[in-house]
Each structure stands twice: as structure tokens, then as C-alpha cells.
């Protein structure tokens, strides 16, 4: 059985679907601080079977010990954590305490229970902003916000753990910019309040929930002046976790992998693609650059392609198509 912490979240829920499709038994642990129990129903609907879920905070040692005692957990995919970059700047202590404490608590219990296969949900924010593009796994590490630092600190903890105990098998998956939704439209990204990320904001402008999109920065040294990022379909990302789990079956130690497409898309290119698939106009205004944002960021993906036998399949139009399908279904529901 594969324990997925934060399995009711955006990436976690899609990964649970991919795991179930691949034949794995899945157990979700989530405190629903940024998700809802209804998401678990959606996962079960797509999977065609009931997916067990325990309401628990990964920082709660007693709750996690009880979970490991009740279920035959063989490996863990750790998504649970706070994830908003801007909020992390305003609330650094909360981010460090929650994200690092949850990892320490989880790994401590895994050690006690003899479960030593772990996939960690990391981020491209662990890379320094002054690296040349594309970013490979050997690029210089360093962060500009507490969220990124919490991810990098956990990576270091896990690398140290693998050195101290050679029985561990750990994959550090560095995500770029996941967007889209499951093709069924049953699950997708549904942030509370006004979205922090570009894609759900675009979706809500297209559906009329928000008046216009704010594009931060129009004078970057890019073809259209807007920032370029490596957007990846969330189901491609989910499949990367399945491949990483297979990889860990025969490997010991710790490894970092980029999960991206290896291609950059500008903000305005994404807007135009969304307009094309939705048939809706997306009004936008150009605002000043946000502090800390860089012009271009995209992945070098050869390592994941070679070692994990994984490569992103979907393009930006398919990401927008599935994201819009989810938005329309969510609005009707």
C-alpha cells in the first residue's frame, strides 16, 4: 500500500489516480487545510473503487503512528505542506514549522516502522535565480523565499538520512509549473479565495468569476516581454511519481529529478492558448514586475527521461483544454 500525504490536494489527487490506474493500493492522509473530502470522492470515482482516506495532520505524531499501525504501508509519497510563495514571505515561521516538522515526523515514524521508500514533493524553487537555462539537477541551489528554503532544507535532511542509513530509497522530485486537470473533469485545481497561481486565475477570468488578469511584467528580455515558465500537465507530473516509485524498487540512496517539459511558454502564449481552447476572451492588464520573479525558467529533463523512463506527453493546448473542462464542470457542479 502506498501512503500519499496531502493526497486530496491538486497534485496529490491526480497522483492517487495515476497510482490506482497502475495497480497500486493507495491510502490518503490529509488534514484538508487546503482541500476537501469531496476530492477523495472524485478520486474514487475515477479509480472505480473506494480509496481509503484518514483525516490526519502529518505533524501529529500520534495520528501518524496510528495510521502506520493500522495499514500495511510499503512506501510514501509526501505532498503535505504549505505551498504559497507569497504567504511564506509573510508567515515564515509557520512555513518552516509546518513543512519541516511534517517531514521530520513522517521520516521518524517510517524509520521506526521499517518503511524506507519515500518520494518527496520538491520544487524548482530550490534552484538559484542566476543559473543559466535550462536547469539541470546539478544547477546551483539557493532560494528567494521561505517556501523554497523549506523544500531545500527537507531535501538536505533526506539526503543526510540516506547517507546515515543505506536502507533508504528516496526520490526528490523537483516540479516546475503544474497546470491542467484530469481529462474527465472530475478533479482539478480549486484553490481557496483568489488564486495565487497564473493558471487558475486565467480560468476564473475566462469563466467570468474574475474581471481581468494581472500580468506582472511586460519588459522582460523575452519575445513578448512576459515571463516564461515550464508548464507541465498535472497528469504527466502524476505519471512521473509512478515511474519514480518503480525506480525506487531496485535503488538505494537519494536522487533528484526535474519534472518538466523542457519547453518554456510565456504568460501571453498561455493566455492565447487558453482563449483558443475555451472560445473566451481573457482581458488582461500589464502590471509592474513582482519582486523576486525572473524572466525565464524551464527544465532540462534528460535525467528523468533516461533514469525514470518518463517524459511529458501533453502540450500547452491540451493543458488548457483539460483545465477549462474542469473549470466548466466545477462551475456547473
C-alpha to C-alpha distance for 130 and 63, rounded to whole angstroms:
42
Residue whose C-alpha is closest to residue 300's, from 264, 258, 240: 258
Tell me which residues are annotated as active site.
147
Q: Classify residue 109: in a domain, yes or no.
A: yes
Work out the pLDDT band at 333, boundaries 50, 70, 90: low
Q: Residue range 27-35: average pLDDT? A: 95
Cβ contact 79:12 at 8 Å: yes
Q: Classify residue 36: in a domain, yes or no.
A: yes
Radius of gyration (C-alpha) of the chain in whole angstroms: 19
Cβ contact 3:19 at 8 Å: no
Range of the domain at 173: 2-179+232-260
Instruction: Give the chain's domain count.
Output: 1
C-alpha grid cell, residue 74:
510499503
Work out the pLDDT band at 86, boundaries 50, 70, 90: confident
Instruction: Compute how many other C-beta atoms are within 10 angstroms of the C-beta atom of residue 192.
Output: 9
Residue 332, pLDDT above cutoff 80: no
pTM of this structure: 0.96
Q: Classify residue 92: in a domain, yes or no.
A: yes
Work out the pLDDT band at 192, boundaries 50, 70, 90: confident
Q: Residue range 275-303: average pLDDT? A: 94
Greatest alpha-carbon pair distance for the chain in Å reads 56
Query: Tell me, what's the pLDDT at 68?
Result: 98
Contacts of 141 (CB under 8 A, 6+ apart): 126, 127, 128, 152
Instruction: Compute how many other C-beta atoms are within 10 angstroms of the C-beta atom of residue 293.
Output: 15
Task: Compute φ and ψ for 272, nearest 5 degrees.
Answer: -65, -40
Q: Check which CATH number belongs to the domain holding 142 and give it.
A: 3.40.50.720
C-alpha to C-alpha distance for 321 and 270, rounded to whole angstroms:
11
C-alpha grid cell, residue 276:
483558443
Q: Tell me: the pLDDT tens digits for 242-288?
A: 999 999 999 999 999 999 999 999 999 999 999 999 999 999 999 99
Instruction: Compute how many other C-beta atoms are within 10 angstroms of the C-beta atom of residue 28.
Output: 28
Q: Classify residue 243: in a domain, yes or no.
A: yes
Q: Classify residue 34: in a domain, yes or no.
A: yes
Query: Tell me, what's the pLDDT at 191?
Result: 82
Q: Classify residue 102: in a domain, yes or no.
A: yes
* Beta partners for residue 256, in sequence order: 172
Q: Classify residue 161: in a domain, yes or no.
A: yes
Q: Classify residue 218: in a domain, yes or no.
A: no
Average pLDDT over all residues of the chain: 96
Amino acid at each position: 500500500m502506498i501512503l500519499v500525504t496531502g493526497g486530496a490536494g491538486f497534485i496529490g489527487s491526480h497522483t492517487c489516480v495515476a497510482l490506482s490506474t497502475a495497480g497500486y493500493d493507495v491510502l490518503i492522509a490529509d488534514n484538508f487545510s487546503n482541500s476537501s473530502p469531496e476530492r477523495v470522492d472524485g478520486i474514487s470515482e475515477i479509480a472505480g473503487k473506494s480509496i481509503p482516506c484518514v483525516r490526519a495532520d502529518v505533524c501529529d505524531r500520534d495520528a501518524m503512528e496510528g495510521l502506520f499501525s493500522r495499514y500495511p504501508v510499503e512506501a510514501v509519497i509526501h505532498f503535505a505542506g504549505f505551498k504559497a510563495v507569497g504567504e511564506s514571505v509573510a508567515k515564515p515561521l509557520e512555513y518552516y514549522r509546518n513543512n519541516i516538522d511534517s517531514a521530520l515526523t513522517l521520516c521518524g515514524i517510517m524509520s521506526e516502522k521499517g518503511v524506507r521508500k519515500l518520494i518527496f514533493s520538491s520544487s524548482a524553487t530550490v534552484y538559484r535565480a542566476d543559473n543559466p537555462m535550462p536547469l539541470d539537477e546539478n544547477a546551483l541551489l539557493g532560494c528567494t523565499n521561505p517556501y523554497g528554503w523549506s523544500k531545500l532544507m527537507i531535501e538536505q535532511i533526506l539526503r543526510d538520512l540516506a547517507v546515515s542509513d543505506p536502507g533508504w530509497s528516496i526520490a526528490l522530485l523537483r516540479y516546475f509549473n503544474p497546470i491542467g486537470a484530469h481529462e474527465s473533469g472530475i478533479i482539478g485545481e480549486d484553490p481557496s479565495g483568489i488564486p495565487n497561481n497564473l493558471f487558475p486565475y486565467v480560468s476564473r477570468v475566462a469563466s467570468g468569476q474574475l474581471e481581468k488578469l494581472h500580468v506582472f511584467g511586460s519588459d522582460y528580455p523575452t519575445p513578448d516581454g512576459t515571463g516564461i515558465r515550464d508548464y507541465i500537465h498535472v497528469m504527466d507530473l502524476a505519471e512521473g511519481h509512478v515511474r519514480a516509485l518503480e525506480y525506487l524498487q531496485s535503488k538505494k540512496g537519494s536522487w533528484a529529478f526535474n519534472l518538466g517539459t523542457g519547453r518554456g511558454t510565456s504568460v501571453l502564449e498561455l493566455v492565447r492558448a487558453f482563449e483558443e481552447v475555451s472560445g473566451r476572451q481573457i482581458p488582461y492588464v500589464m502590471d509592474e514586475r513582482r519582486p523576486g520573479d525572473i524572466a525565464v525558467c524551464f527544465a532540462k529533463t534528460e535525467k528523468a527521461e533516461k533514469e525514470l523512463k518518463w517524459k511529458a506527453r501533453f502540450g500547452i493546448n491540451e493543458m488548457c483544454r483539460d483545465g477549462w473542462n474542469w473549470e466548466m464542470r466545477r462551475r456547473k457542479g
